[in-house]
Amino acid sequence: MKNAHLRFGWLTYVKSTEKTTASINLRLDRFIGEVLPDPPRQAKAHLISVLGGDTQIAAVSAAISLADRFMVEGPGVQPIRVCLERNAQCFKGSVQLAGRKKPLRHLIALSEEFASSNISAGSGRTLLASSENRFIWTSLAHIHGIPGMPDWADWFAAELGTHKAIVPALGIGCAPVFVKGEKELFLDWLSWGIESGAVRVPAETGSVRWPSLSLQGIFLPAS
């Protein structure tokens, strides 16, 4: 974890009233966002993970419930205004650090779209937190109920690239992507792949063991 703070981003929340203006800055260790075409330099946030004190985290949590906007910046992401929009979900926890009496508070917020795979499956696009081939194929097979083999991951990723069906998203501490397409389209690709011999169905029968995926493998290390 040496120098991990150098790889973190910042989340800034400014709240103005008639009498005062308060500015809150929190360390941002993970972020997933989607640049909006209009207005410029604004984005829809899909995942925000921040660390701070009790008061700071409480203020940001309240702001998320009100669909307020924040400024986000970090490695590879220039300052941009973001919002989680309506029906975002928040989860809070604590991080105890050595030599610190009070624990840090940890807040994770998810957009409605990212929290619900049902919405993603029916919208013609799927947001994934990693661009790794095995993760993409495993996730889409699970979300859409697509039959297949784990070792088809590289072939499927090549098909996504050929059809321009994968688009990078904004990310801090991860490499998220949007995958465009619905179940019927992916099944058509698989049918062609099997018929052409690009992918092979095993001759023996039996259950298929899919690889286990961990959060450490999905999110890039922050250290």
Question: Residue 216 falls within a domain, yes or no?
Answer: no
DSSP code, position 150: G
Q: Which residue, 113, 133, 155, sits at the end of a domain?
A: 113
Question: Residue 45 falls within a domain, yes or no?
Answer: yes
> Given this model, what pLDDT does residue 204 score?
77
Same structural domain, 67 and 120: no
Same structural domain, 16 and 101: yes
Q: What is the pLDDT of residues 15-39, one digit of tens each?
A: 887 788 889 999 999 999 998 887 6
Q: What is the pLDDT of residues 59-85, one digit of tens each?
A: 999 999 999 999 999 998 999 999 998
In degrees and rounded to multiples of 5, residue 145 shows phi and psi of 70, 45
Question: Residue 222 falls within a domain, yes or no?
Answer: no
Q: Which two tokens stand for residue 145?
A: 């109920």
Query: What Å distances lie between residue 99 and 103, 104, 164, 210, CA to CA?
Result: 10, 12, 50, 42
> Given this model, what pLDDT does residue 184 score?
94
Residue among 197, 166, 193, 195 nearest 180 (CA): 166
Q: Going by C-beta distance under 8 Å and a sequence separation of 6 or more, which residues neighbour residue 151?
A: none
Handedness of CA 65, 66, 67, 72 (dihedral sign): negative
Domain residues for the domain of 85 are: 4-113
Mean pLDDT of the 185-192 span: 95
Question: Residue 157 falls within a domain, yes or no?
Answer: yes
Is the predicted pLDDT of residue 183 greater than 60, yes or no? yes
Helix ranges (DSSP H) in 37-167: 54-65, 112-115, 117-122, 133-144, 153-162
> Given this model, what pLDDT does residue 223 score?
43
Mean pLDDT of the 105-111 span: 95
**Share of residues in the chain with pLDDT > 90 (%):** 62
Q: H-helix or E-strand containing 23?
A: strand 21-35
Question: Residue 221 falls within a domain, yes or no?
Answer: no
Distance CA 84, CA 167 (A): 20
Output the average pLDDT for the chain.
87
How many Cα atoms occupy the beta-carbon half-sphere of 197 within 13 Å? 0
pTM: 0.85
> Given this model, what pLDDT does residue 81 score?
94
Count of domains for the chain: 2
Q: What is the pLDDT of residues 138-153, one digit of tens each?
A: 999 988 889 889 999 9
Residue among 171, 132, 130 nearest 35 (CA): 171
Helix ranges (DSSP H) in 8-129: 54-65, 112-115, 117-122
